[in-house]
Chain A
Amino acid sequence: MAVNKVPNNSIIRLELRTGTSGSGNPILRDKSLNSVKSTASDQDIYDVATSLANLQNYPLNSISRVDNAQLVNV
């Protein structure tokens, strides 16, 4: 008996700066893009994420890749 890790779809999370708070700290908002293939390369995800962020008025703070996986006992 061993546990197998089966990848599910990944998520791209763009952290965008939508403004500045009264005390001068940046206000951040997350934009998630679901249904990203778990087999996608980091480079491809980065390139697509930056090109999408480039279409928006909000400056891009960071790009995260969120990988999901299911554990199955076989």
Chain B
Amino acid sequence: MATTKTLRMGFKNMEGKTVTISLDNPKDDLTEATITTAMDLIIARNIFTSSGGDLVSKLDAKIIETTTTDLYTPA
């Protein structure tokens, strides 16, 4: 059984659609302040684009844990 963690940051673009940026293996001691600082920097520097325009606001940030259980593995 293996567990992997992914940090998923959601943004709204100019058309109001959601754009996500995902990072594997986030640090365990991440705080809301650390993540929102990074997200604010992304919006402030405005270097990313999307099919619906620039990223304009933060939507959410989640850490998603995925547990994988092997039921059958060929020898």
A21 within 8 A of B: no
Are the CB atoms of A31 and B21 closer together than 8 Å?
no
Which of B24, B34, B50 has the most CB atoms of chain A within a 10 A radius of its CB?
B24
B56 within 8 A of A: no
In the assembled complex, the Cα of A52 lies from the Cα of B39 at a distance in Å of 9
Are the CB atoms of B47 and A51 closer together than 8 Å?
no
In the assembled complex, the Cα of A18 lies from the Cα of B24 at a distance in Å of 11
Which of A31, A36, A48 has the most CB atoms of chain B within a 10 A radius of its CB?
A48
Are the CB atoms of A48 and B27 closer together than 8 Å?
no
Return B41 CB to nearest CB of chain A, in Å: 5
Interface range, A side: 10 to 19
The prevalent SS among residues of A at the interface is mixed
20 additional contacts (CB under 8 A) given A35-B49, A37-B46: A18-B25, A31-B23, A31-B24, A33-B48, A35-B48, A36-B48, A36-B49, A37-B47, A40-B45, A40-B46, A44-B47, A47-B41, A48-B45, A51-B41, A51-B42, A54-B38, A55-B23, A55-B30, A55-B34, A56-B27
Where the two chains meet, the residues of B that have a C-beta atom closer than 8 Å to any C-beta of A are 7, 21, 23-28, 30, 34-35, 37-38, 41-42, 45-50
Where the two chains meet, the residues of A that have a C-beta atom closer than 8 Å to any C-beta of B are 9, 18, 31, 33, 35-37, 40, 44-45, 47-48, 51-52, 54-58
